Amino acid sequence: MTAKLRQILFSVCAIVLAAIFIWLTLRQTDFQVLKQAASEANYFWFLLSMAISIFSYWLRAKRWQLLSEPIGHPFSAKAGFWAISFAYFMNLTIPRSGEIARATSLYKMEKVPVDKSLGIVVLERVIDVLFLGFFFLLTFLFNADTLTSFLSMSEGKSYDKFIYAGVAFIVLVTGIYLIRNQLKKLPFFQKIAEFIKGILIGVQSIMHLKKRGLFIFYSFAIWTCYFFMTYLVFFAFPATSHFGLAEGFFLIVAGALGMILPAVGGLGYPYVMSLAFTAMYISNGQSGDEGKMVGNYFGLLLYFAQVISILIFGILAFYFMPRISKS
């Protein structure tokens, strides 16, 4: 199967999955309640959430800049900011396409090799997983009942496919290892090896950081922004204004799972929010149906607010990137 065909199939699956999530969300949405919630919402908190999300772009750009310096490819924070804005914009079309778009756009602006940028992206994803694990731990400590209720909604699913995938991966790696000497002679394999080497150099950039304290600060600041992007929207609605930090920790974990789903434009997020609020209400001895209703309008309106900010800065990136380009 060619790479182009795989990309087409992946895109089709992402669109279908997005359509399923849209259908599931709309099917359980009471539009009169949504309309009333939208009319009563305090949009100051949405605007503040959007501003914080854009500020997190800048923090990501500064951290990316910090990681790129030790491997001999410095670039301006301004270029990094617009590359990240463009990446989020591209993620609205094809899931995970933003990673490639981010690296290639930076190359066009600052001539930073794509493979090394991708290596840094891989490193950042590892760091993100660690921080997500940290929030998972906080949720477990302060909101274990809600987390258990949320995870129980996924019970009964088969995990055989993961076992089969693991076995297939082991067989593939073993086969490549056995014929590695023959593969090394192929020009195509040599290009792949060189590309992987560039990625590894990017990943190893953290070992040569001179400003590790600043790197840690940026990492914590980015995830603090992610937390407040959701937490502050609690105050936009009367029904959620009483929630505290524990519920905020939980929604970070649930929201991250919603964004990880390979649906176009992150459209799994509103549906996952409805499940999250259902779990929150049930764990507090309240009606799960009421929680689902609140989660529907909370998730949809927060999702729309973030998409608006992504679209605005993604379109601005199309304007500013050519003006930074050194080509």
User: Residues 12, 16, 21, 22: is their CA dihedral positive or negative?
Assistant: positive
CA proximity to 272, closest of 259, 284, 285: 259
pLDDT of residue 98: 81
Q: 75 pLDDT exceeds 50?
A: yes
pTM value surpassing 0.85: no
Percent of the chain residues topping a pLDDT of 70:
69
Percent of the chain residues topping a pLDDT of 90:
21
Q: What is the mean pLDDT of the chain?
A: 78
CB neighbour class for 24 (10 Å; exposed up to 12, middle 13-18, buried from 19): middle
pLDDT, tens only, 284-304 = 888 888 888 888 889 889 988
**Across 43-57, 168-182, 252-266, which has the greatest mean pLDDT?**
43-57
Give the residue-averaged pLDDT of 217-223: 92
- Tracing tokens 């192929």 back to the chain, one arrives at 186
For the stretch 249-267, what's the b/e string if a residue is b when 16 or more beta carbons lie within 10 angstroms of its beta carbon?
A: bbbbbbbbbbeebebbbbb
pLDDT of residue 162: 45
Give the residue-averaged pLDDT of 204-224: 80
CA proximity to 310, closest of 151, 168, 101: 101
CA proximity to 32, closest of 24, 43, 40: 40
> What confidence tier does 62 reach under pLDDT thresholds 50, 70, 90?
very high
> What confidence tier does 230 reach under pLDDT thresholds 50, 70, 90?
very high
Give the residue-averaged pLDDT of 151-169: 52
pLDDT of residue 38: 86
Q: 177 pLDDT exceeds 50?
A: yes
Domain boundaries, the chain: 41-156+203-324
